[in-house]
Amino acid sequence: MRSIDEEFLSASRKTLSKWRERIEKCLGELCEEQIWWRGQENSNAIGNLVLHVAGNARQWIVAGVGKAADTRDRDAEFARREPIAAAELLARLNAAVADADDVLARIRAEDLLEERHIQVYDVTVLQAIHHVTEHFAMHAGQILYATKLLTGSDLGFYRHLSKKQN
């Protein structure tokens, strides 16, 4: 039987992996114009959201928890207007999630209550990991919703739950 810390870390790793895969599917469904479309100037394009979740995972888990150098430029994630190709966005996202997963794979139970200062926040390692998983899921949901709006298609993630399966 796994301990609570092992279950938490396993669930956190699976959550990041699952949402990364779903973002990948969305990027594969969209053209460059759709990835960088903004409903209005104060809205974020899908491309900005991908940069943002990758930056957040790097800052909070890779740097904050894993103690690597923090090189994040959060404002640039949102300010970006020049398109980055879907393949490059995906490569950045994949690298950030893989690096975060490497850190999470090394966390021990006693590490979870250690304090870290990340951005302007004083948090435990557990709180930092929880923040990243919920933050990642929230923005992935925005990406999924925008993808459905832009393509008019069902992405099929929950088709297996329907009584009428396609």
Using DSSP bridges, classify how beta strands 115-118 and 121-124 pair: parallel, antiparallel or unpaired: antiparallel
Question: What is the rounded distance in angstroms from the CA atom of residue 7 to the CA atom of residue 69?
Answer: 28
The type of residue at 139 is H
Share of the chain above pLDDT 90, in %: 89
Q: Identify the residue with better confidence: 143 or 162.
A: 143
Contact 77, 55 (CB under 8 A): yes
- Tell me: pLDDT of 29 over 70: yes
DSSP, collapsed to helix, strand or coil, labels residue 55 as: helix
At the fourth CATH level, the homologous superfamily of domain 4-161 is: dinb family like domain (1.20.120.450)
Residue 68's closest CA among 100, 94, 91? 100
> In which band, very low, low, confident or very high, does the pLDDT at 160 lie, cut at 50, 70 and 90?
confident
Question: What is the rounded distance in angstroms from the CA atom of residue 95 to the CA atom of residue 109?
Answer: 25
Which runs of consecutive H residues, i.e. helices, occur in the chain? 4-29, 32-35, 46-57, 74-79, 86-106, 125-151
> In which band, very low, low, confident or very high, does the pLDDT at 124 lie, cut at 50, 70 and 90?
very high
* Mean pLDDT of all residues belonging to the chain: 96
> In which band, very low, low, confident or very high, does the pLDDT at 156 lie, cut at 50, 70 and 90?
confident
The type of residue at 60 is W
Domain boundaries, the chain: 4-161
Contact 117, 75 (CB under 8 A): no
